[in-house]
Structure 1
Amino acid sequence: MTTATQFATRNDIPHHVRATMIEMLNQQLADAFTLYGLTKQAHWNVKGINFIQLHELFDSLAEGVLEYVDMIAERATALGGYARGTAAMAAQNTTLTDFPEDIVQGKQVVEVLAERYAQFGAST
């Protein structure tokens, strides 16, 4: 992760504290954006007997994660930071493990997503 860019703000939190907070938020932004992508990957590729239920569940989960992505990015900018929110930035900085391309069956997909959500939870 790069040093936090800071823009002028009326926020009275000391510069060094804001820099640390912006860096932490951008790390969470990378992980949250990646989690969104992982969830959509599951949504698009799940197969099996419970396809429609899992397909709809994963779409709903992805929507919730996307709201969190937006909130994190806006908090970073409210502190005078620059939200590092492109897919390329997220891929470069995420701490989450990618989704294996050979996992498509419902139960296995749920297990992989549960692991990624646990990774995300542990990083916050």
Structure 2
Amino acid sequence: MKVEQKGHTVIIKNTQGDIASFLEKVTTEYNSYKEHNIILDLSQDSAIDLPRILTFLSLSNKHRKAKKSFVLVASDLDFNDVPDEMVVVPTLLEAHDIIEMEEIERDLGF
């Protein structure tokens, strides 16, 4: 797991390849990230699929309820199958763009 902070955003990269242990580690260390927007970078995992993405749903809901952005980066996925309450994008650049848009919406009171 590699953690990088840029401004109000924390980028957490899965370097282990095992989604279950990555989720457990992120959940365990969540309190140190909860004040930031979170990007989970799963793009290096070629075996990522919708059931594995959905394991992050409760963490995503918890973080978004606290008025912070939670974005997953995953390539080779049918994004139409992802539930509306989760934000999954194919690149880190798009993840940063989504967070920027959500910050503007929060500032405007939407």
- Between the two structures, name the one with larger relative contact order (CA 8 Å, sep ≥ 6): 1
Structure with max Cα Rg: 1
Is the TM value for this pair above 0.5?
Answer: no
**TM-score, normalisation: structure 2:** 0.28
**Counting strand residues as a fraction of each chain, which structure ranks higher?**
2
**TM-score, normalisation: structure 1:** 0.26
**Counting helix residues as a fraction of each chain, which structure ranks higher?**
1
